[in-house]
Amino acid sequence: QAEGSAETVNGSLTTHVLNTATGLPAAGLAVRLAQLQEPGPQWMELAQRWTDKDGRCLPLLAPKQAKAGTYKLRFETAAYWQGLGHASFYPFVEVVFTIADPAQKLHVPLLISPYSYTTYRGS
């Protein structure tokens, strides 16, 4: 299926964001990817994307671009909620995770509402 082909690329990092207050994808939300530089604690920004109408964005790491290490996805939730006319308890959400096997595809979804968020390792 051509529509999901960007998500099935080996060795890439993908995400999607769902607004659980409406049950709809979170469109137009800024996402940044950074990698922790060793020895830390310096973060180097690698990519910035915005979610589309389906709450997804282009892969944050291209095939074979991933390296073992610690990474951070930063989701700019305050601007997203403000755009919908809501206040947000969380001005942004940072999800820190480790890539142990750079050849493995990683999917890190985020579920958000104005007063909560959940993330998990997807497939």
Annotated binding-site residues for substrate read: 16, 56, 120
- N- to C-terminal Cα distance for the chain? 17
Binding residues: 16, 56, 120
Mapping DSSP onto H, E and C, the string for 94-112 reads: EEEEEECCCCCCEECCEEE
**Alpha carbon of residue 63 to chain centroid:** 17
**Angle in degrees, CA 41, 43, 49, rounded to 5:** 155
Distance CA 21, CA 106 (A): 26
